[in-house]
Amino acid sequence: MNALLPSPATIAALVKIGLLIGGLMTAAAYLVLVERWMAAWVQDRKGPNRVGIPLTKIRLFGLGQPLADGLKIILKEDFTPKHVDKVLYNAAPLLILATSLAIFAAIPFGSVLPPLGIPGLPDPVPFLVAPSLDVGVLWVFALSSITVYSVLLGGWASNNKYGFLGGLRSSAQLVAYEIPLGLGLLGVVLAAGSLRLDVIMSAQAQSGVWYVFAQPLGFIVFLVAAFAEAARLPFDLPEAEQELVGGYHTEYSGIKLLLFLVAEFLHMVTASFLIVIMFLGGWHFWGLTGAGDEVTWAGALIRFGVLSAKIFAVILFFMLVRWSWPRFRFDQLMNLAWKVMLPLGLANLVTVATIEEFRPQLVAALGAGPAKWLAIAAPWAVFFIGWIAAGLLTPSGTDNRPIRAHDPFDIEHELSGA
Amino acid sequence: MKPTDPAVTWLEEKPLGLAERLYLPLFVQGLATTARHLVSPKVTVSYPEQRPTVGNPLIYRGVHRLNRDDEGRVKCVACFLCATACPAHCIDIVATESPWPDREKYPEAFQIDELRCIFCGMCEEACPVDAIELTSLLDLTGKSREEMIFDKEKLLSVYDMTKDAEPMKSAQYKEELSPGHGAGGAA
């Protein structure tokens, strides 16, 4: 083979990258529209429904809106304030978008294609840009930590109080929630025995028990931490509009702001991917997709469709939660992370580790069937115990009553030195 | 009133119940509320295609009109009460001697600057002969400032345009206040 030509594996990777980035950017644009629709519908409005095909009267329920939104923000003046650190100010949005997209190198977006029979291309072809990466989960977590770094950079380089506060909050929040996120994830990694996300999916498909059923506590911990990690309501403190104007991107405008906003949507998409892949069975659905590596073209499409549908459902859940719950106060956020989610995550991890350690003995003593049910029942028991304990033990009530020890306008009282 | 005043009753926040402490039940409740609104009928009016409905035209404050009497003359007697009452000073009246025997003065010119008007309805309240009224026309547009200064003819034409849909309010009030007793009761 000619050494100058790229190998089939390289071409396949490039095709996948093209499809993935194209799909993700389009999805991000349309998710903005979906978000606006959800916001409107929840508030009994109709939402954007007028922009259709330009220069015609065709409206298409407002499906042209992303184009209009995108053009508007791109054509806006990209203003750089005088007081910013120019290098970091420009680097932050680029870094956040690049890392948000690079995360998807290790995230499978389907199952596998049927064998193509192209020489030099290992069959079957997986729906994954970097199929030979054995530490996929670590890659995802390392890069999602770097996105925090660019939020910090953006806030710091803006040289603005609100931006700086947003960056500070972001760093504290993400440090706090990386731990429950990791604990939720560790249970899954222990049970599947692999750090590869595609293996985690097929492990769930083969056993038929999604990890949301086998590890309910881990799922809750991971879900809450994923909301915090994506900085979505009720954990959107880094950019709380009512308090911080725009948070870390207060000083950004035009296309740089667009990069930040797209990256935020990609965070939500990443979080949905992880939730679906690790806890909701990925491409698996009982009686619809099969479980093995042998697929037909139709089977590959069905698996892709099932995965996409699950991810879309999780994204809709993200958006619905945004209008259901008010934002946490910062101390409540920290309490929840350190006093509730961390112990619950540890409890889940210990349960899963114990079950996995003694599974061979269990199967030997009880037989395969009862052992399987026990391995599901025990985590649920831990889930309810942990839930009730967390509810009863943590000081979830807040004392917001006014202090009325004495009258604040009572000058005589103050003067008498009491 | 001081916070220590004995007349002030302080309400204590209720302690959290079990469902509240367990978080998730209330979360599901909130989610159910938003999900219900997600599919409930929308209140938005798609304006240019669909006209918003005016709840009660009697109390709606839209574009002004100058009413005509039974003989088609302007009802106004140029008493300046509306111009005096107007907080935005948008009414400009030029009075002259009336050619008709039933009143001393009538407006030779009557201008309302619709751009200055704040649609408070004071002119309507002040008018002793129910000559100036606010209609329920709500889409008031124009291409220049001059166009938005409505003169007497324009205001009378608004009356001609709306009189069938909205009879004079004075007549309607009388009907409402004393049904079947004619005009006398309301005065």
> Could you read off the pLDDT of B115-146 as tens digits, one per residue?
999 999 899 989 888 899 998 888 888 899 99
Q: What's the alpha-carbon Rg for chain B, to the nearest Å?
A: 26
**Chain A partners of B10 at a C-beta cutoff of 8 Å?**
404
Residue A355 lies in a domain: yes
CA-closest candidate to residue A177, choices A235, A229, A232, A236: A229
Of A320, A396, A407, the CB nearest to B16: A396
If you measure CA to CA, which chain B residue comes closest to A400?
A: B13
Examine the pLDDT at A129 and tell me if it is beyond 80. no
Residue B88 lies in a domain: yes
CA dihedral A315, A320, A326, A330 (to 10 degrees): -10
| CATH code of residue B160 | 3.30.70.3270
Last residue of some domain: A32, A59, A75?
Answer: A75
**Sheet with B149-150: strands ordered across:** B91-97, B105-113, B149-150
pLDDT band for A2, please (50, 70, 90 cuts).
low
A255 & A394 share domain: yes
Per-residue pLDDT of A58-107, as tens digits, reads: 777 888 888 888 888 889 888 888 888 888 888 889 989 999 888 888 88
Residue A297 lies in a domain: yes
Q: How many domains does chain B have?
A: 1
If one compares A360 and A276, the residue with the highest pLDDT of the two is A276
A201 & A321 share domain: yes
A141 & A32 share domain: no
Q: Which of A34, A35, A41, A411 to mutate to test the interface with B (most CBs of B within 10 A)?
A: A41
A70 & A111 share domain: no
Residue B105 lies in a domain: yes
Residue B50 lies in a domain: no
Give the gap in angstroms from C-alpha A407 to the nearest C-alpha of chain B: 6
Size of interface A-B (CB pairs under 8 A): 66
Region A218-233: what's the mean pLDDT? 87
A50 & A88 share domain: no
Highest mean pLDDT among A49-63, A341-355, A381-395: A341-355
Q: Is the dihedral of CA A339, A342, A348, A352 positive or negative?
A: negative
pLDDT for the residue numbered A415:
67
pLDDT band for A397, please (50, 70, 90 cuts).
low
Give the gap in angstroms from C-alpha B145 to the nearest C-alpha of chain A: 30
Decide if A326 touches B, using CB distance below 8 A: no
A252 & A196 share domain: yes
**Chain B partners of A324 at a C-beta cutoff of 8 Å?**
27, 30-31, 33-34
Q: How many domains does chain A have?
A: 2
Q: Which of A232-236, A247-251, A396-400 has the lowest mean pLDDT?
A: A396-400
Q: Which of A61, A324, A406 to mutate to test the interface with B (most CBs of B within 10 A)?
A: A324
Last residue of some domain: A57, A75, A93?
Answer: A75
A209 & A327 share domain: yes
Examine the pLDDT at A9 and tell me if it is beyond 80. no
Task: Produce one character per residue of A139-175: b if its CB has 16 or more CB atoms within 10 Å, e if not.
Answer: bbbebbeebbbbbbbbbbbbbbebbbbbbebbbbbbe
Residue A404 lies in a domain: no
- The Cα–Cα gap between A402 and A389 comes to 30
Decide if A2 touches B, using CB distance below 8 A: no
A70 & A98 share domain: no
Of A42, A388, A406, the CB nearest to B34: A42
A102 & A33 share domain: no
Residue B38 lies in a domain: no
CA-closest candidate to residue A198, choices A264, A131, A115: A131
pLDDT for the residue numbered B178:
60
Helices and strands (H, E) in chain A, number of each type = 15, 0
Are B44 and A401 within 8 A, CB to CB? no
Domain of residue B109: give its range.
64-166
If one compares A117 and A53, the residue with the highest pLDDT of the two is A53
Are B13 and A401 within 8 A, CB to CB? yes
If you measure CA to CA, which chain B residue comes closest to A404?
A: B3
**Chain A partners of B7 at a C-beta cutoff of 8 Å?**
none
What residues of B are in the A interface, CB distance below 8 Å?
Answer: 2-4, 10, 12-13, 15-16, 18, 20-24, 27, 30-31, 33-35, 37-44, 46
Residue A256 lies in a domain: yes
CA-closest candidate to residue B113, choices B92, B137, B82: B92
Residue B41 lies in a domain: no
**Chain B partners of A42 at a C-beta cutoff of 8 Å?**
34, 37-38
Last residue of some domain: A17, A43, A75?
Answer: A75
Domain of residue A22: give its range.
1-75
Residue A203 lies in a domain: yes
Give the gap in angstroms from C-alpha A250 to the nearest C-alpha of chain B: 30
A86 & A41 share domain: no
- Is residue B34 within 8 Å of residue A317, measured between CB atoms? no
Which pTM does this prediction carry?
0.79
Give the gap in angstroms from C-alpha A176 to the nearest C-alpha of chain B: 20
Per-residue pLDDT of B13-70, as tens digits, reads: 777 777 777 778 888 888 899 989 988 888 888 888 888 888 888 888 889 999 888 8
A40 & A181 share domain: no
**Chain B partners of A321 at a C-beta cutoff of 8 Å?**
31
Examine the pLDDT at A299 and tell me if it is beyond 50. yes
Decide if A397 touches B, using CB distance below 8 A: yes
Examine the pLDDT at B171 and tell me if it is beyond 80. no
As given in the structure block, the two tokens for residue B139 are 């889409």
- Prior bond to A234 cis, omega within 30? yes
A68 & A104 share domain: no
Residue B119 lies in a domain: yes
If one compares B179 and A105, the residue with the highest pLDDT of the two is A105
Residue A174 lies in a domain: yes
**Chain B partners of A223 at a C-beta cutoff of 8 Å?**
none
Are A324 and B21 within 8 A, CB to CB? no
If you measure CA to CA, which chain B residue comes closest to A37?
A: B38
Are B3 and A38 within 8 A, CB to CB? no
pLDDT for the residue numbered A3:
64
